[in-house]
């Protein structure tokens, strides 16, 4: 009876929840208990439900940590706290039972699946919470939307039926949902106009607008003399590092929106939900970019190296405290910070901007340094607002990242006065196949080209990547470097001591001072992540048994207090790390009697609820 009442409640809203969502069905099924599935195995689970007059039988498996969009040493910052981002195993991928060429991707939170289901015959189903469309509904009410794609054309264009596909339930192709920009010498992104006077091609923008010494100088392109490298070159002199690192910022409007919605009023749950949202968005974006051949350069993708939350509007450190409906002003606030340590930095918000702008970014500025275009501001930046449904967001992000990597809009005027699409008809679009990703206005996602970069966009990004990836990653330049990394590249400044590092206190001097560490060179120094003096014994970032005067604390100093399951622990002579604590109170209650102390020094919670046994050899069915 309860499910039936929920069903009626959703239907009573009508045919449209908002201007973005017109056709949907309510979705009701038994929430999945993830605790029933072992986190230490590759065990698969089933998820069954009924929608659109058909039974869905999904077979899901967790995405491994190595496949996460977060770097293994990614850092999260919030409310004056800095900590390593812990892997959360709620991201899943899979298929529809009986449809080997189907694809499923999404997350499970509070036992509810959200994501996309793609069938082999071109059908696509998006499942998401109804809360973003109507905040009066229960958080457990979800909606599913159906879309039929032109599969044969997709296969012809990319040869892979699993390539990204997006939806936007708008009947008009190219609805003005965001207004990107043209690039001027002033470096000010402006609302785009179809007949802009910008005559320059994006690959010329990359080279012309960088001031000072050109990046194609022999000093920057020379081969390294180091014997050991974390990345290598191919036969064409292109370095094989393919990861563009991101610093993600969440402003207080998006944080509050999630806190009051899917976060259920809990700060920890809100941060977890936002991390999941970014994981899902970037996975879809990476599906677009990593399969494209940029002139022999493949595997380009994005990973998050830093994640910062601004939780309150009155936070003195919050650069977004003021109100604005002007997207350029908002991006300027973000660009006032120094993001030189990252390939790109994007801020995500829930603001409603003028002209229905959904995203904005500077063109061709990946890996540029703060002040590269005069002043002290960064231009390796962009912004996206989540004032749209989930299907629209990664489309917007893919568009803005295309700008950052070197592509202008499709249909740009050339020096001859002709449109690029007139000179290169393969970059043009028609009513049947639709506009490409880099079209100035938003696509609705219903046509084949809406999820593809045009040949012109690929060519322009290729020119920029070949220029950028020809630079030795170890060489510094005051304007732009090859900052792409490989999975094994250590990052000095992330507060994690990695191979080749003695210590790690932060990216710059101020960050090291914030860590109360004056013993270690910061990431911007030539001797980065090394002790400043041979007379120093240690750095506080190496361990809690090192003092601020760079000396070992000694055996009489407590480094870990007594807890329910572990004894007081003291530093060891001549050592900066705190030794492992000894277990105590074995078998006695701990954590306010919610668990028992064990010899393994852990305090597991008592099991609550029913433990289910799996069928022999079968996949758990929920």
Report the number of distinct structural domains present in the chain: 4
Is 403 annotated in a binding site? The answer is yes
Question: Same domain, yes or no, for 531 and 514?
Answer: yes
Which neighbouring-strand residues pair with 99? Answer: 96
Question: Same domain, yes or no, for 546 and 564?
Answer: no
Residue 603 and residue 219: Cα distance in Å, rounded? 57
Spatial CB neighbours of 63, under 8 Å, sequence gap ≥ 6: 89, 91, 92, 93
Phi-psi sector, 467: left (phi>0), alpha (psi -120 to 50), beta: alpha
Please tell me which of 11-15, 25-29, 128-132, 326-330 the model is most confident about, judged by mean pLDDT.
Answer: 326-330
Chain segment 78-114, per-residue pLDDT in tens: 988 999 888 777 888 888 998 888 888 888 876 778 8
Question: Same domain, yes or no, for 276 and 398?
Answer: yes
| Mean pLDDT of the chain, nearest integer | 74
Spatial CB neighbours of 499, under 8 Å, sequence gap ≥ 6: 490
Chain segment 380-434, per-residue pLDDT in tens: 999 999 988 777 788 899 999 999 999 988 888 888 888 888 888 888 887 778 8
Q: Which ranges constitute the DSSP H helices of 469-585?
A: 509-514
Please tell me which of 207-211, 227-231, 340-344, 563-567 the model is most confident about, judged by mean pLDDT.
Answer: 340-344
What residues make up the domain containing 576?
554-622
Please identify, among 141, 158, 175, the residue that sits at the C-terminal boundary of a domain: 158
DSSP string, 163-231: S-------SSTT--S-------TT-------TT------HHHHHHHSS-SS-TT-HHHHSPP--S--SS
Question: Same domain, yes or no, for 6 and 132?
Answer: yes
Residue 175 and residue 172: Cα distance in Å, rounded? 6
Residue 411 and residue 520: Cα distance in Å, rounded? 51
Residue 27 falls within a domain, yes or no? Answer: yes
pLDDT for the residue 374: 67
Chain segment 486-537, per-residue pLDDT in tens: 876 677 887 878 778 899 998 888 889 988 999 999 987 878 899 999 899 9
The count of other CB atoms within 10 Å of the CB of residue 235 is: 6
The CA–CA distances, whole Å, from 622 to 29, 113, 251, 568, 619 equal: 9, 12, 37, 45, 10
Would residue 83 show up in a list of annotated catalytic residues for this protein? Answer: no
Question: Same domain, yes or no, for 539 and 571?
Answer: no
pLDDT for the residue 100: 82
Q: Which ranges constitute the DSSP H helices of 406-552?
A: 420-423, 455-468, 509-514
Question: Same domain, yes or no, for 546 and 560?
Answer: no
Question: Same domain, yes or no, for 616 and 559?
Answer: yes
pLDDT for the residue 597: 58
Residue 461 falls within a domain, yes or no? Answer: yes
Chain segment 35-88, per-residue pLDDT in tens: 455 444 557 788 888 888 888 888 888 887 778 899 988 999 998 899 988 877
Q: Which residue has the tokens 């540029």?
A: 368
Count of residues in the chain: 622
Is 142 annotated in a binding site? The answer is no
Residue 149 falls within a domain, yes or no? Answer: yes
Planar angle of CA 549, 552, 553, nearest 5 degrees: 90
How large a percentage of the chain has pLDDT more than 70? 69
> How does DSSP classify residue 72?
E
Choosing from 114, 400, 420, 501, which is the catalytic residue? 400
CATH code for the domain in which residue 398 is found: 3.40.390.10
Residue 56 falls within a domain, yes or no? Answer: yes
Residue 300 falls within a domain, yes or no? Answer: yes
**460 with 403: CB under 8 angstroms?**
no
Strands annotated E in 210-284? 243-250
| Tally of CA atoms within 13 A in the half-sphere of 450 that contains its CB | 28
Strands annotated E in 90-219? 91-96, 99-109, 112-118, 123-129, 142-148
Please identify, among 551, 569, 601, the residue that sits at the C-terminal boundary of a domain: 551
Question: Same domain, yes or no, for 312 and 413?
Answer: yes
The CA–CA distances, whole Å, from 157 to 421, 453, 455, 573, 610 equal: 18, 11, 11, 66, 50
Is 409 annotated in a binding site? The answer is yes
Question: Same domain, yes or no, for 615 and 500?
Answer: no
Residue 474 falls within a domain, yes or no? Answer: no
The CA–CA distances, whole Å, from 458 to 252, 293, 436, 463, 608 equal: 35, 8, 11, 9, 54
Residue 469 and residue 482: Cα distance in Å, rounded? 6
Strands 301-309 and 243-250, sheet pairing: parallel
| Residue closest to 230 by CA, chosen among 503, 483, 68, 473 | 473
Look at residue 368 and tell me whether its pLDDT is greater than 90: yes
Chain segment 181-210, per-residue pLDDT in tens: 333 333 444 333 222 233 333 334 455 443
Question: Same domain, yes or no, for 575 and 541?
Answer: no
pTM above 0.85, yes or no: no
Of 29-33, 57-61, 230-234, 495-499, least confident by mean pLDDT is 29-33
pLDDT for the residue 617: 39
Show the tokens assigned to 380.
């390796």
3-state secondary structure of 125: strand
Residue 269 falls within a domain, yes or no? Answer: yes
Sheet (strand 142-148) strand order: 25-27, 142-148, 123-129, 112-118, 99-109, 91-96, 54-62, 45-51
pLDDT for the residue 213: 36
Question: Same domain, yes or no, for 496 and 564?
Answer: no
Calculate Rg over the CA atoms of the chain: 26
Spatial CB neighbours of 341, under 8 Å, sequence gap ≥ 6: 247, 491, 493, 507, 523, 524
Look at residue 240 and tell me whether its pLDDT is greater than 70: yes
Q: Which residue has the tokens 């030189």?
A: 340
Question: Same domain, yes or no, for 413 and 277?
Answer: yes
Mean pLDDT of 585-611: 50
Residue 455 and residue 359: Cα distance in Å, rounded? 22
pLDDT level of residue 591 (50, 70, 90 thresholds): low
Residue 586 falls within a domain, yes or no? Answer: yes
Rounded to 10 deg, the angle between the 390-405 and 267-289 helix axes is: 60
């Amino acid at each position: 009876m309860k499910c039936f009442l929920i069903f009626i409640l959703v239907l009573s809203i009508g045919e449209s929840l908002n201007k973005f969502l017109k056709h949907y069905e309510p979705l009701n099924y038994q929430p999945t208990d993830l605790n029933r599935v072992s986190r230490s195995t590759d065990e698969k689970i089933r998820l069954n439900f009924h929608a659109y007059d058909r039974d869905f039988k999904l077979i899901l498996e967790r995405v491994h940590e190595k496949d996460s969009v977060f770097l293994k040493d990614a850092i999260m910052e919030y409310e004056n706290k800095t900590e390593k981002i812990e892997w959360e195993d709620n991201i899943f991928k899979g298929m529809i039972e009986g449809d080997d060429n189907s694809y499923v991707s999404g997350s499970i939170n509070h036992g509810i699946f959200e994501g996309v289901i793609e069938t082999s015959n071109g059908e696509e189903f998006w499942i998401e919470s109804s809360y973003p469309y109507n905040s009066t509904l229960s958080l457990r009410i979800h909606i599913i939307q159906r879309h039929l794609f032109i599969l044969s054309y997709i296969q012809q264009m990319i040869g892979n039926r699993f390539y990204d596909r997006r939806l936007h339930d708008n009947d008009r192709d190219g609805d003005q949902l965001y207004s990107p920009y043209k690039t001027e010498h002033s470096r000010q992104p402006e609302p785009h106009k179809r007949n802009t006077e910008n005559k320059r091609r994006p690959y010329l923008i990359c080279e012309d607008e960088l001031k000072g010494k050109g990046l194609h100088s022999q000093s920057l392109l020379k081969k390294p003399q180091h014997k050991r490298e974390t990345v290598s070159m191919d036969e064409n002199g292109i370095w094989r590092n393919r990861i563009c690192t991101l610093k993600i910022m969440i402003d207080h409007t998006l944080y509050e929106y999630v806190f009051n919605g899917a976060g259920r009023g809990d700060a920890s749950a809100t941060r977890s939900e936002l991390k999941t949202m970014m994981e899902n968005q970037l996975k879809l974006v990476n599906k677009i970019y990593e399969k494209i051949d940029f002139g022999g350069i493949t595997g380009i993708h994005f990973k998050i190296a830093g994640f910062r939350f601004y939780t309150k509007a009155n936070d003195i450190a919050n650069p977004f405290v003021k109100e604005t409906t002007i997207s350029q002003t908002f991006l300027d606030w973000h660009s006032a910070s120094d993001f030189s340590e990252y390939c790109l930095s994007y801020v995500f918000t829930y603001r409603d901007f003028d002209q229905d702008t959904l995203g904005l970014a500077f063109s061709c500025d990946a890996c540029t340094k703060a002040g590269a275009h005069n002043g002290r501001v960064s231009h390796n930046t962009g912004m996206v607002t989540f004032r749209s449904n989930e299907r629209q967001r990664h489309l917007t992000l893919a568009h803005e990242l295309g700008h950052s990597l070197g592509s202008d809009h499709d249909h740009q005027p050339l020096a001859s006065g002709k449109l690029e699409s007139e000179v290169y008809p393969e970059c043009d679009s028609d009513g049947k196949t639709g506009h490409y990703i880099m079209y100035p206005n938003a696509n609705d996602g219903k046509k084949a080209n809406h999820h593809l970069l045009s040949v012109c966009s690929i060519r322009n990004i290729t020119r920029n990547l070949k220029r950028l990836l020809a630079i030795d990653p170890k060489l510094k330049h005051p304007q732009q470097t090859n900052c792409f990394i490989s999975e094994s590249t250590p990052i000095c400044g992330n507060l994690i001591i990695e191979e080749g590092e003695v210590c790690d206190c932060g990216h710059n001097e101020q960050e090291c001072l914030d860590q109360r560490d004056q013993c270690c060179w910061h990431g911007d120094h030539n001797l980065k992540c090394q002790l400043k003096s041979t007379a120093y014994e240690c750095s506080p970032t190496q361990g809690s048994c090192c003092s601020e005067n760079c000396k070992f604390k000694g055996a009489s100093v407590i480094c870990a207090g007594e807890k329910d399951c572990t004894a007081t622990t003291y530093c060891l002579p001549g050592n900066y790390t705190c030794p492992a604590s000894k277990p105590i109170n074995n078998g006695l209650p701990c954590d306010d009697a919610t668990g028992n102390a064990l010899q393994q020094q852990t305090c597991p919670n008592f099991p609550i609820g029913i433990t289910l046994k799996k069928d022999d050899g079968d996949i758990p069915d929920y």
